[in-house]
Structure 1
Amino acid sequence: MYLAVLPSYRQNCMEILLDEFPGRLDLYVSESHLDSSVKSGVQLPNLHYVSMRRLMGNKVFLQSGHLLQALRTDDLVVDLNPRSLSAWMLLVARRVLHKRTLVWGHLYPRAGSSSNTASARRTMRRFASGTITYTYSDQAAAEHELPGQPVWAATNALYRANDIQPVGTSKAETRKEVLYVGRFEGSKKVPLLLESFAHAVRQQPDLLLRLVGGGSQEDQLRHRAHELGIADKVIFEGWVDDVDRLKLFYERAICAVSPGFAGLGLTQCLGFGVPMVVSKDEPHAPEIELADTGGVIWVETDSTTSMAEGLLAAWRRRGELPLSLVSDYVRNHYSAESMARGLHYALEDVR
Structure 2
Amino acid sequence: MKKVLIVYNKIFPYRVPIFNLLAKEFDLTVTYSLGNSYNGRMDFNLMKLPVKKYNRFVVHKGSLYKLAQNFDVVIGYGDISWLSIMKLMFKSNRKYKVILWGIGLRASYKTRYGDRTIWDHVRYYLMGKSDAILFYSKEPIPLYLEQGFTKKKLFVADNTVKVLQSKITPDKSSIVFIGTLYRQKKIYNLLESYHAVKQKVDNVPILNIIGDGDEYTNIMNWINRHQYQNCIKLKGKIFDEEVLCEYFEKAIACISPGQAGLSVLKSMGYGVPFITKENAITGGEIFNIEHNISGVLYKEDEELENIIKDICYNKSKYIEMGLNAKIYYEKYRRPEHMVLGMKKAIEFVLQN
Cross-structure match for 1:25: 28
Q: Conserved in 1, the CA contact under 8 Å of 2:72 and 2:95? A: no
Report 1:57-136 matches (<5 A).
59-65=56-62, 67=64, 68-93=66-91, 97=94, 99-110=96-107, 111=112, 112-136=114-138
**What is the DSSP-based 3-state SS (H/G/I as helix, E as strand, rest coil) of the residue aligned with 1:214?**
coil
Give the whole-Å Cα distance in 1 for the aligned partners of 2:59 and 2:276. 35
Task: Tell me the secondary structure at the aligned position of residue 20 of structure 1.
Answer: coil
Structure 2 partner of 1:180: 177
Distance 1:211 1:83, change over 3 A: same
2:267 aligned residue: 269
1:143 to partner: Cα distance: 4.8
Tell me how far 1:279 sits from its aligned partner.
1.5
Question: Amino acid of the residue matched to residue 275 of structure 2?
Answer: V
- Relative to structure 2, which stretch is displaced further, 228-237 or 11-20? 228-237
Displacement of 1:100: 1.4
Change (3 A) 1:140 1:339: farther
1:35 equivalent in structure 2: none
Stretches of structure 2 that go unaligned for 5 or more consecutive residues are: 1-5
CA distance 1:205–1:116, change in 2 (3 Å) = farther
Say which SS state the counterpart of residue 231 (structure 1) adopts: coil
Structure 1 letter corresponding to 2:7: Y
Q: 1:40 to 1:341 in 2, by over 3 A?
A: farther
Letter of the 1:147 partner, please give it.
T
Deviates more, 1:211-220 or 1:319-328: 319-328
- State yes or no: 1:54 paired with 2:53: yes
Counterpart CA distance in 2 for 1:317 and 1:289 is 25
Aligned to 2:169: 169
- Structure 1: gaps spanning 5 or more residues: 33-38
In proportion to residue count, which structure has more helix? 1
CA distance in 1, matches of 2:69, 2:183: 37
| 2:160 aligned partner | 157
Cα shift at 1:164 = 6.0
**Equivalents in 1 of 2:282, 2:61: separation in Å?**
31
Q: 1:316 to 1:64 in 2, by over 3 A?
A: farther
Residue 238 of structure 2 aligns to which amino acid in structure 1?
V
Distance 2:12 2:342 in 1: 17
Q: CA deviation at 1:349?
A: 1.7
- 1:42: how far off? 6.5
DSSP 3-state at the match of 1:9:
coil
Structure 1 position 77, deviation (Å): 0.8
Q: Residue 8 of structure 1 aligns with which residue? A: 13
Structure 1 residue matching 2:98: 3-state secondary structure: strand
Deviates more, 1:69-78 or 1:142-151: 142-151
CA displacement, residues 88-122 of structure 1 (integer Å, 9 cap, x when unaligned): 222223x5636411100001112315233333321
Change (3 A) 1:283 1:329: same
Question: Contact 1:247–1:272 (CA<8 Å) still a contact in 2?
Answer: yes
Q: Percent identity?
A: 18
Taking structure 1 as reference, are residues 29 and 282 closer, same or farther at Cα in structure 2, changes over 3 Å only?
same
Q: 1:128 Cα shift?
A: 0.4
Alignment of 1:177-326 (within 5 A): 177-206=174-203, 207-292=205-290, 294-301=293-300, 303=301, 305-320=302-317, 321-322=319-320, 323-326=322-325
Deviation by residue 1:7-54 (Cα, 9 ceiling, x = unmatched):
110121111111222xx221111134xxxxxx6536424011112322
Amino acid across the alignment from 1:339: M
Give the SS at the match of 2:23. helix
TM-score by length of 1: 0.86
**3-state secondary structure, aligned to 1:180:** strand
Question: Which deviations, in whole Å up to 9, do the C-alpha atoms of 1:254-312 show, x marking residues without a partner?
Answer: 211112121111111122221122112233221111123622222345x3x32222222
Contact 2:21–2:339, Cα closer than 8 Å, also in 1: yes
Q: CA deviation at 1:337?
A: 0.8
Question: What secondary structure, in the 3-state scheme, does the structure 1 residue paired with 2:211 have?
Answer: strand
Contact 1:273 1:327 in 2 (8 A): yes
For residues 98 and 19 of structure 1, do their structure 2 counterparts lie closer, same or farther at Cα, with a shift above 3 Å needed? Answer: closer
Rounded to whole Å, the distance in 2 between the matches of 1:231 and 1:96 is: 64
Measure, in 1, the Cα distance between the counterparts of 2:33 and 2:37: 7
Helix, strand or coil for the counterpart of 1:89? Answer: helix
Distance 1:307 1:63, change over 3 A: farther
Match of 1:209, SS state, is: strand
Whole-angstrom CA distance in 1 between matches of 2:271 and 2:201:
23
CA RMSD of aligned residues (A): 2.4
